[in-house]
Structure formats: structure tokens, C-alpha cells
Amino acid sequence: MRPLRANRTEQRRKAREQEANSMNELLRNPASEPAWDDLLPVLDEAMHRLGEKDRVAVLLRYFQNQSLKEVGARLGLSENAARMRVERALEKLRAQLARKGVTS
């Protein structure tokens, strides 16, 4: 039973990393996305709908390129807790953007 759980955990981790890499790539190369100007107001609105701690975690991680350890230090969290906060905030953002018809 334990190897199955470890396998699922590893699959989820890889999926989260892939999603984070995709988001980082989009943020680094906004000109490569033709509808970027149209997405900015929607993303801005979605970010403002997040709670303050979630919004700060995402801003620190993806807009200021801080490590999870640095994010945790700024928020008074452990590195693992910072990772979970960022992941949950991204899930909330994804859900909000999907409701607006924005998908990856």
C-alpha cells in the first residue's frame, strides 16, 4: 500500500511542478502569447480575489522569483507550509480563471 501512495504523491508533485514551470514560462515570455494583453485584467482581478496571504505568496514566488524558503521566511512559515500555500493559491487562481473561460 505504501509504494502506491508514494507513486501517487510523486505523480501529483510532478504535475504541480509542470504547472509551475508553465506559469513561469508564460510570465517570462508574455509577448509569445498573443492574448496576453487581454489576460492581464482577468489575472489581476483573480489575484485581487485571493486572500492577502495567498496573493502575497503567489507574488513573492512567481513575480519576484523567490524560493519557497524565502517565501516561507517572509510569511513566517516553514518551506513546506509555503509550498502548500502557493499550491493552494494556484488552485484557487486556476478555478477563478476557468470560470472566466481562461484555460491553459
Domain count, the chain: 1
Inside any domain, residue 104 = no
- Distance between CA 18 and CA 37 in Å, rounded? 24
Inside any domain, residue 43 = yes
Residue from 6, 7, 102, 8 nearest 47 by CA: 102
Inside any domain, residue 19 = yes
The residue written with cell numbers 489575484 in the block is 47
Report the pLDDT value the prediction gives residue 42, as an integer from 0 to 100.
86
pLDDT at 1 over 60: no
pLDDT at 2 over 80: no
In sequence order, what are the residues at sequence separation of 6 or more whose Cβ sits closer than 8 angstroms to the Cβ of residue 74? 56, 60, 66
Whether pTM > 0.85 for this model: the answer is no
pLDDT at 90 over 90: yes
Query: Residue 75 sits in which domain range?
Result: 2-99
Inside any domain, residue 36 = yes
pLDDT at 82 over 80: yes
- pLDDT digits 0-9 by tens, 20-77: 777 766 666 655 554 667 788 888 899 999 999 999 999 999 989 999 999 999 999 9
Helix ranges (DSSP H) in 50-78 = 52-58, 68-75
Report the pLDDT value the prediction gives residue 29, as an integer from 0 to 100.
64
- CATH code, domain with 15: 1.10.10.10
Inside any domain, residue 58 = yes
In sequence order, what are the residues at sequence separation of 6 or more whose Cβ sits closer than 8 angstroms to the Cβ of residue 83? 68
Inside any domain, residue 53 = yes
